[in-house]
Copies of this chain bind each other. A is one copy, B any other.
Amino acid sequence: MPAKTQDIVARVLARCDQLAQFSELEDGVLRQYLTPEHRAANQQVAQWLNDAGLMSWQDSVGNQWGRLPAAKENVPRLILGSHLDTVPFAGKYDGILGVLLAVELLSYFSDQAPLPFHLDVVGFADEEGTRFGTTLIGSKALAGQFASHWLQLTDRSGTTMADALQEFGLSADQTSAATLNARDILAYWEVHIEQGPVLEALQQPLGVVSGIAGAKRAHIRIQGQAGHAGTTPMHMRQDALAGAAELIQFIETSARGGQHQEVATVGNVNVKPGAANVIAGACTLTLDVRALNDADRDALVLRIEAFAQQMAAQRQLNCEFDWYHEAPAVLCNNHIQQQFHQAARNAGLQIPTLPSGAGHDAMAVASVAPVGMLFLRSPGGISHHPDERVIADDIGLAFNVMKEALMLQALK
């Protein structure tokens, strides 16, 4: 790695450490929407931008922006970015890394020939939804999808989002001012840690994201008949947990057989009455189903529901699905994917394509602009945890690939 890139990587890592200090927790990282820590992080990022001679501003929902202006004024903007908020006991890189790498890219190009587009960086204010329970607030506001009823959502202490905006120095009346016009946006490019084990397993530092999986989530309730574990013969049971086990097995097998990166997860089971010597009378399972394509995901959901009803009928159980969450899949722009691959080759790398199973701001921005995403490998696949890590060399490679991609874009 050339000395200059080494400096960039060292600065990015040091700044990730610095932003992690703006935390609501003494013994971990937590930075929620519209808190003093949110303000402090925005101000710090603005300071770094200004130190590099770049413009900075905060929009009407609290997203932090920076800009390297184009030579001409009336040209669209290419936006680089990610989010600055965190979950409780977070790592230091989820979201943050993409913002700070973008700051470095603006800074780098500020020393080069002017670009034919404004090069913007955005640090979205709330992607995780930790405080008010609704995710992608910052990027949805950009995309004109800020829902007015959100203003009445409350945090744990009972403060509404409207009041929190006021306390932050913003106004509940002005959220729509954060919305951008689709024709003003050339593209949105997001660099993010993978938060999964795929790149590490492939021994690849980086990957181009093909799309962001759409998710559906349900609570599955299985009702059987409790009974004495000693006195009820096997053939006379209506064991809700045995039915649940059959369903969990089917869910796993069906998702494994999928051709389009389907994943399906039962993450929890709750058994009633839940005693060692009593046959399970009822179970509740959580189900999370994702695929890169909504039709594939929905086909998998239908197969699971059909099997569940058949299983329930055979076992004289009752089985109900309560679907409480649905987000459509979003594909990354094909041209941008190719451009990232070409940029990687220009930087001397051959990198794979992979889907994102987790949600990202790019999902929301995709409704107003072509989006592209570049993943950095996550050691151990770990994220949303203090052990979240990133490999220094991978940051240098990501910087180079994005730099090459911007150079390709400038030549268009």
Task: Pick from A217, A241, A274, A287 the residue with the most CB of B within 10 Å.
Answer: A241
- Chain B nearest CB: distance from A130 CB in Å? 14
Tell me, yes or no, whether A235 is within 8 Å of chain B by CB: yes
Tell me, yes or no, whether A263 is within 8 Å of chain B by CB: yes
Question: A227 — which chain B residues lie within 8 A by C-beta?
Answer: 196-197, 381
Tell me, yes or no, whether A393 is within 8 Å of chain B by CB: no
Candidates B196, B239, B286; contact of A228 at CB < 8 Å: B196
Q: Is the CB of A229 within 8 A of B265?
A: yes
- Chain B nearest CB: distance from A279 CB in Å? 6
- Chain B nearest CB: distance from A282 CB in Å? 12
Q: Is the CB of B263 within 8 A of A267?
A: no
Tell me the number of copies of this protein: 2
Candidates B248, B267, B277, B290; contact of A275 at CB < 8 Å: B267
Asked, given contacts A197-B232, A228-B381, A229-B357, whether A276 binds B271 with beta carbons under 8 Å apart, the answer is no
Task: Pick from A246, A264, A357 the residue with the most CB of B within 10 Å.
Answer: A357
Q: Is the CB of B358 within 8 A of A217?
A: no
- Chain B nearest CB: distance from A217 CB in Å? 6
Q: Is the CB of B274 within 8 A of A228?
A: no
- Chain B nearest CB: distance from A170 CB in Å? 30
Tell me, yes or no, whether A242 is within 8 Å of chain B by CB: yes
Tell me, yes or no, whether A244 is within 8 Å of chain B by CB: yes
Stretch from A60-68, A120-128, A249-257 forming part of the interface with B: A249-257
- Chain B nearest CB: distance from A299 CB in Å? 16
Binary B-proximity of A276-289 (CB < 8 A = 1, otherwise 0) = 11111000001110
Q: Is the CB of B230 within 8 A of A290?
A: yes
Binary B-proximity of A351-367 (CB < 8 A = 1, otherwise 0) = 00000111100000000
- Chain B nearest CB: distance from A65 CB in Å? 28
Question: A277 — which chain B residues lie within 8 A by C-beta?
Answer: 217, 265, 267, 288
Please report the C-alpha to C-alpha distance between residue A258 and residue B359 in the assembled complex, in whole angstroms.
Answer: 48
Please report the C-alpha to C-alpha distance between residue A383 and residue B232 in the assembled complex, in whole angstroms.
Answer: 12
Binary B-proximity of A205-231 (CB < 8 A = 1, otherwise 0) = 000000001010100000000011111
Q: Is the CB of A263 within 8 A of B213?
A: no
Please report the C-alpha to C-alpha distance between residue A261 and residue B230 in the assembled complex, in whole angstroms.
Answer: 10
A84-138, CB < 8 A from B = none
Please report the C-alpha to C-alpha distance between residue A241 and residue B384 in the assembled complex, in whole angstroms.
Answer: 21
Tell me, yes or no, whether A3 is within 8 Å of chain B by CB: no
Candidates B197, B230, B241; contact of A358 at CB < 8 Å: B230
- Chain B nearest CB: distance from A270 CB in Å? 8
Asked, given contacts A279-B267, A358-B228, whether A242 binds B234 with beta carbons under 8 Å apart, the answer is no
- Chain B nearest CB: distance from A177 CB in Å? 32
Tell me, yes or no, whether A269 is within 8 Å of chain B by CB: yes
Q: Is the CB of A276 within 8 A of B267?
A: yes
- Chain B nearest CB: distance from A286 CB in Å? 4
Tell me, yes or no, whether A194 is within 8 Å of chain B by CB: yes
Question: A279 — which chain B residues lie within 8 A by C-beta?
Answer: 265, 267
Please report the C-alpha to C-alpha distance between residue A282 and residue B26 in the assembled complex, in whole angstroms.
Answer: 28
Interface residues of A (CB under 8 A from B): 194-198, 201, 213, 215, 217, 227-236, 239, 241-242, 244-246, 248-249, 252, 255-256, 258, 261-269, 271, 274-280, 286-288, 290, 356-359, 381, 383-384
Contacts A230-B357, A241-B266, A245-B245 known; 9 new A-B pairs at CB < 8 A = A228-B383, A230-B290, A241-B268, A242-B248, A244-B245, A245-B252, A268-B276, A275-B286, A276-B287
